[in-house]
């Protein structure tokens, strides 16, 4: 995994090193580059039913879950998704 830092923390650290340089064209350019960086955090999305089922099957196949645990969780998962379909 990459080491992630906040964009604002990078700007704050940069400005701490160049407190009087905001009027400099080079400093302004560098600040614009930092401010325009894309977010390092991926967009979050809801995990779908089939993704859940696949994870459950993998955990059961690898003996992470017992038969009883698998059945119990899958019953809850199926009930949850059946309820969501009705909405």
pLDDT at 11: 84
**pLDDT at residue 9, as a whole number:** 85
Using one digit for the tens of pLDDT, what is the confidence trace for 21-46?
667 888 888 888 888 887 777 778 88
If asked whether residues 1 and 30 sit together in one domain, one would say yes
Share of residues in the chain with pLDDT > 70 (%): 95
Instruction: State the DSSP code for 18.
Output: -
Cα–Cα dist 14/24, whole Å: 13
Quickly state the pLDDT bin for 2 (edges 50, 70, 90): low
Shared-domain flag, residues 31 and 60 = no
Q: Are residues 20 and 4 in the same domain?
A: yes
Q: Tokens for 54?
A: 């696949």
- pLDDT-above-90 percentage for the chain: 34
Domain housing 71: 49-86
Cβ within 8 Å of residue 70, ≥6 positions away: 56, 59, 60
């Amino acid at each position: 995994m990459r080491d992630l830092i906040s964009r604002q923390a990078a700007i704050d650290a940069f400005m701490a090193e160049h407190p009087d340089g905001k009027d400099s064209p080079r400093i302004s350019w560098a600040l614009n580059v930092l401010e325009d960086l894309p977010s390092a955090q991926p967009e979050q999305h809801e995990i779908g039913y089939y993704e859940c089922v696949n994870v459950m099957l993998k955990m059961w196949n690898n003996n992470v879950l017992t038969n009883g645990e698998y059945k119990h969780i899958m019953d809850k998962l199926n009930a949850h998704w059946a309820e969501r379909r009705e909405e």
